[in-house]
Amino acid sequence: MEPEMEDKTLELMNLTVMESQNLTDDLSPKKTTVFKLSNGSLSRKRPSRVSFEKEKEMCIQMFEQWSEADQVEFVEHLISRMCHYQHGHINSYLKPMLQRDFITALPAQGLDHIAENILSFLDARSLCSAELVCREWQRVISEGMLWKKLIERMVRTDPLWKGLSERHQWEKYLFKNRTNEVPPNSYYHSLYPKIIQDIETIEANWRCGRHNLQRIQCRSENSKGVYCLQYDDDKIISGLRDNSIKIWDKHSLECLKILTGHTGSVLCLQYDDRVIVTGSSDSTVRVWDASSGEVLNTLIHHNEAVLHLRFCNGLMVTCSKDRSIAVWDMASATDISLRRVLVGHRAAVNVVDFDDKYIVSASGDRTIKVWSTSTCEFVRTLNGHKRGIACLQYRDRLVVSGSSDNTIRLWDIECGACLRVLEGHEELVRCIRFDNKRIVSGAYDGKIKVWDLQAALDPRAPASTLCLRTLVEHSGRVFRLQFDEFQIISSSHDDTILIWDFLNVSANGQSEGRSPSRTYTYISR
């Protein structure tokens, strides 16, 4: 203890004792001060109440004469001489004194925007609790339109929320700042639980297999299957065995346009806003204008059927029955040049996928090969399938593949490890897609299976829990499928395209306001 502090403490003690003696001489009846031995030293019991109040007042008067630094030092010294129980009591006393209602204090300083910004980070449950704290908190949340901001944040980051906002048309009330176009905060407060209820219903429909089914019959005289497809909100583009590409209206299910030019079956396709790119068993790749349907370019490189293709950000990769992979620079629809040919597979290359880091290919030789996208150099081989591989998808570190050994395998592309084997299909797994929640697979057994992706990535999850639902409607082999949060669209050897709608389903499993199965048949002339 510092000498100066020691002096102040002794001064307080002496002053208190002297005053105590004077006080006891004047008081009647007289109270005696009792001392006792404790651990070899004298300790003083608490004096009478009147004496204590007098001594306390004197201590406070002297305490107030000191500087703040001296006061802190003195209190620290006192606390250090107290027992654990006393420390706990002081802690309980100090806690509420140290707390500050900054959400209420900030607006008083003209800083409403800071209070709103702090509360905008809360989730829905916390935001509900915050509204109940006091009227000022409720005012900040209401005037700051924090329920609207929470919904906007979810729409920006979650595809399911974005899809619901578009389909249920409450997107028009978001991302607008003009007051006359925006409903009050109470509208968004009541909207939020309705959205949650919709999401829970959709998830339950996926788990239970409840869906509304729409069917497109696309038979023509020579057609015996729909090999490939892609869709958006307005249309479905399909490649058929009869050498044609058919474009369908997704709402009316009518055929809008037929593109002809290939002399073999259309085995693969991909489109964007500008072009449709198709690969065929005639060994060519054709580029079509997405609006007019005019052929813009024909690429002649592969010696046998073009089995799959992918393009993105000026790069296109095609693969073929000739066992090779072609990497193309795609400056425009008419300016496409061959960059590199990748060889290494010992059988037909059935599927390719790529991102900025890797090109991934799978073959009838039972292997998956990984190549560098930038250098086109070989990186590694993933081994495990017992028979040829028919399909795969690659994203981030995950590769999911389907094989004629009837299994699906999940791989870590960086180390080449097989993370899980999914068993359940009875024949070749022909097509596979996955998102953050699910894997959806289609096979030559005519079945579509929905798998729990997160459970599949958990080594502790029992194999029996991984397949969520098996969908059986196709009467032939399933060739291709695509899905999003609300639907699966699949095509088959049975010449149909099926739309499995998990959003517009009534309680009895049928669509509200429409028949459970709607069919449109197109017969070519």
Of the candidate ranges 10-24, 187-201, 479-493, the one whose mean pLDDT is the lowest: 10-24
User: How far, in Å, CA of 137 to CA of 129, rounded?
Assistant: 10
User: How far, in Å, CA of 124 to CA of 79, rounded?
Assistant: 43
The answer to whether the beta carbons of residues 174 and 155 sit under 8 Å apart is: yes
In 3D, which of 158, 152, 195, 160 has the Cα closest to residue 177? 152
Domain residue spans in the chain?
102-175+182-207, 209-501
What does pTM read for this prediction? 0.78
In 3D, which of 377, 375, 317, 318 has the Cα closest to residue 344? 377
Answer yes or no: is pLDDT of 274 > 90.
yes
Once rounded to an integer, what is the mean pLDDT over residues 307-331? 97
- Third-level CATH fold of 102-175+182-207: Monooxygenase (1.20.1280)
**Given this structure, which CATH class describes domain 209-501?**
mainly beta
User: How far, in Å, CA of 474 to CA of 238, rounded?
Assistant: 17
Query: Residue 356 — pLDDT band, cuts 50, 70, 90?
Result: very high
How confident is the model at residue 276, as a pLDDT? 98
How confident is the model at residue 222, as a pLDDT? 75
pLDDT digits (tens, 9 = 90+) for 229-273: 999 999 999 999 999 999 999 999 999 999 999 999 999 999 999
The answer to whether the beta carbons of residues 451 and 441 sit under 8 Å apart is: yes
| Helix (H/G/I), strand (E/B), else coil: 243 | coil
How confident is the model at residue 44, as a pLDDT? 53
Answer yes or no: is pLDDT of 487 > 60.
yes
Residue 502 per-residue DSSP state: S
How confident is the model at residue 2, as a pLDDT? 56
Once rounded to an integer, what is the mean pLDDT over residues 352-362? 98
Once rounded to an integer, what is the mean pLDDT over residues 453-458? 97
How confident is the model at residue 108, as a pLDDT? 82
The answer to whether the beta carbons of residues 451 and 468 sit under 8 Å apart is: yes
| CA angle (114, 116, 117) in 5-degree steps | 65
How confident is the model at residue 47, as a pLDDT? 61
How confident is the model at residue 520, as a pLDDT? 46
Q: Both tokens of residue 119?
A: 């509360």
How confident is the model at residue 27, as a pLDDT? 41
How confident is the model at residue 511, as a pLDDT? 42
How confident is the model at residue 54, as a pLDDT? 86
* Amino acid identity at 404: S
Q: Both tokens of residue 148?
A: 């609207």
What dihedral do alpha carbons 498, 427, 319, 332 form, nearest 10°? 10
Neighbours of 478 (CB within 10 A): 28
Taking the CA atoms of the chain, what radius of gyration do you get in angstroms? 37
How confident is the model at residue 40, as a pLDDT? 43
Query: Residue 4 — pLDDT band, cuts 50, 70, 90?
Result: low
User: How far, in Å, CA of 280 to CA of 284, rounded?
Assistant: 6
pLDDT digits (tens, 9 = 90+) for 120-159: 999 999 999 999 999 999 999 998 999 999 999 999 999 9
Q: Both tokens of residue 154?
A: 């979810």
Once rounded to an integer, what is the mean pLDDT over residues 218-226? 79
Answer yes or no: is pLDDT of 220 > 70.
no
Burial class (CB in 10 A: 0-12, 13-18, 19+), 310: buried
Residues 6+ apart with CB under 8 A from 328: 299, 311, 315, 316, 317, 318, 336, 337, 338, 339
Of the candidate ranges 61-70, 213-222, 439-448, the one whose mean pLDDT is the lowest: 213-222
